[in-house]
């Protein structure tokens, strides 16, 4: 996976982007960004880092912000450095939450609820973005299929989640129906299939009470966490003179949400290469000059992605330090 990721990143940044635009022109545009928008970018990057841990405190109200910060930022680091690192990040988040006094049941509920909300928003925002394009009277041709697939997946998922959360009995019933296709799929992969029924009943026991009482805060914090990188992209395009003309906020949102959907298919760490190619191509499709689109993508990565990786590394250091203090005590 690391080898495939490296090949994809080199192919995009070394071969595809030079065919679309000029790096020298893109860097010249970066150097000409007005101080006002540089300040806005810095502010948006800071807000992105500050807001992200609130998704953990929304699920675990007793969790201190410092501990939520370590939990979420380390999870972001691991999931975006390792291809397909989401599962590893979940395991590490259990360890962190346990270290900070969160029970196994509460940790399971929090991690499960956060994963469900992230999944629904990742699939649902492209459909919402295409709807906004239609309402605004702009062309959504070529993106409707993606939106429809995402919308169908969200609707089906919501029905399944409601059934699972309704009661342990309904969760077990749905798990029994899903076991056969799971057995077939894992059999094709030559792997031992999971006990779907037991997993769904366990999810009901862990997450039903949490979702029933905290769904508003879970929704609010996850929406905020998803939108802050979008704000960074808007500030980047505005600083480069490409927003609000030729590209509108709806078109930026559509490009952002469709590109971010690719992070669900972790071919490369953090979607590097695949997401960037999609974002640049979509922005140029909406009328942004190719060199400007490349410059905006570079700013987006430098202001949103890179600082959060560095902060995640610092959070990992904090957790390691806390563990050492425990051993000394």
pLDDT digits (tens, 9 = 90+) for 29-38: 888 899 999 9
Which of 64-68, 285-289, 299-303, 325-329 is the most confident on average?
A: 64-68
Q: Are 186 and 192 in contact (CB under 8 A)?
A: yes
User: For the purposes of burial, counting CB atoms within 10 Å of the CB of 62, is it exposed (0-12), middle (13-18) or buried (19 or more)?
Assistant: exposed
Q: Are 233 and 252 in contact (CB under 8 A)?
A: yes
Q: Are 134 and 151 in contact (CB under 8 A)?
A: no
Q: Are 78 and 269 in contact (CB under 8 A)?
A: no
DSSP code at position 194:
P
pLDDT higher than threshold 90 for residue 315: yes
Looking at residue 265, what is its pLDDT?
A: 62
Q: Are 255 and 279 in contact (CB under 8 A)?
A: yes
Per-residue pLDDT, averaged over 121-149, amounts to 73
Question: What's the predicted TM-score (pTM) here?
Answer: 0.84
* CA dist., res. 223 & res. 16, Å (int): 32
Looking at residue 72, what is its pLDDT?
A: 93
Looking at residue 28, what is its pLDDT?
A: 85
Per-residue pLDDT, averaged over 144-168, amounts to 78
* Residue 226: both structure tokens together: 């998803």
* CA dist., res. 75 & res. 87, Å (int): 10
Looking at residue 5, what is its pLDDT?
A: 58
Could you give the percent of the chain with pLDDT greater than 90?
Answer: 28
* Residue 258: both structure tokens together: 């469709």
Q: What is the pLDDT of residues 211-254, one digit of tens each?
A: 888 889 999 999 999 899 999 999 999 999 999 889 989 889 98
Task: Give the confidence band of 74 by pLDDT, cuts at 50, 70, 90.
Answer: very high
Instruction: Please state which of the ranges 47-56, 185-194, 217-226, 255-264 shows the lowest mean pLDDT.
Output: 255-264
Rounded to 10 degrees, the C-alpha dihedral 86/91/96/98 comes to 150
Q: Are 221 and 55 in contact (CB under 8 A)?
A: yes
* Residue 207: both structure tokens together: 């997450």
Looking at residue 201, what is its pLDDT?
A: 86
Long-range contacts of 92-99 (CB under 8 A, 24+ apart): 96/67, 96/70, 96/71, 96/319, 97/60, 97/63, 97/67, 97/71, 99/319, 99/322, 99/323, 99/326
Task: Give the confidence band of 6 by pLDDT, cuts at 50, 70, 90.
Answer: low
Alpha helices in the chain (DSSP H): 2-10, 17-20, 23-31, 35-51, 54-59, 65-81, 86-99, 104-136, 144-166, 168-188, 196-239, 249-261, 274-285, 290-300, 306-328
């Amino acid at each position: 996976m690391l080898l495939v990721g490296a090949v994809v990143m080199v192919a995009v940044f070394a071969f595809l982007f030079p065919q679309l635009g000029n790096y020298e022109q893109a860097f010249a545009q970066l150097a000409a960004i007005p101080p006002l928008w540089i300040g806005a970018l810095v502010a948006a990057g800071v807000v992105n880092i500050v807001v992200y841990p609130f998704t953990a405190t929304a699920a675990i109200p007793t969790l201190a912000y410092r501990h939520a910060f370590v939990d979420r930022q380390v999870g972001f680091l691991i999931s975006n450095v390792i291809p397909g690192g989401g599962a590893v990040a979940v395991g590490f988040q259990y360890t962190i939450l346990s270290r900070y006094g969160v029970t196994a049941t509460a940790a399971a509920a929090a991690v499960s609820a956060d994963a469900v909300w992230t999944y629904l928003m990742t699939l649902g925002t492209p459909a919402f973005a295409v709807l906004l394009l239609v309402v605004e009277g702009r062309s959504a041709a070529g993106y409707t299929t993606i939106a429809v697939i995402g919308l169908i997946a969200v609707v089906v998922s919501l029905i399944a989640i409601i059934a699972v959360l309704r009661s342990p009995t309904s969760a077990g019933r749905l798990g029994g129906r899903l076991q056969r296709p799971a057995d077939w799929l894992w059999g094709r992969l030559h792997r031992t299939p999971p006990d779907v029924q037991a997993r769904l009943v366990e999810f009901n026991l862990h997450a039903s009470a949490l979702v029933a009482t905290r769904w508003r805060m879970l929704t609010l914090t996850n929406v905020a966490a998803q939108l802050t990188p979008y704000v960074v992209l808007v500030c980047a395009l505005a600083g480069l003179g490409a927003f609000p003309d030729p590209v509108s906020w709806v078109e930026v949102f559509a490009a952002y949400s469709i590109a971010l959907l690719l992070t669900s298919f972790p071919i490369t760490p953090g979607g590097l290469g695949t997401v960037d190619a999609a974002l640049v191509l979509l922005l140029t499709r909406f009328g942004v000059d190719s060199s400007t689109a490349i410059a905006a993508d570079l700013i987006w990565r430098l202001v949103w992605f890179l600082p959060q990786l560095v902060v995640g590394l610092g959070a990992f250091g904090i957790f390691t330090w806390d563990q050492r203090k425990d051993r000394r005590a």
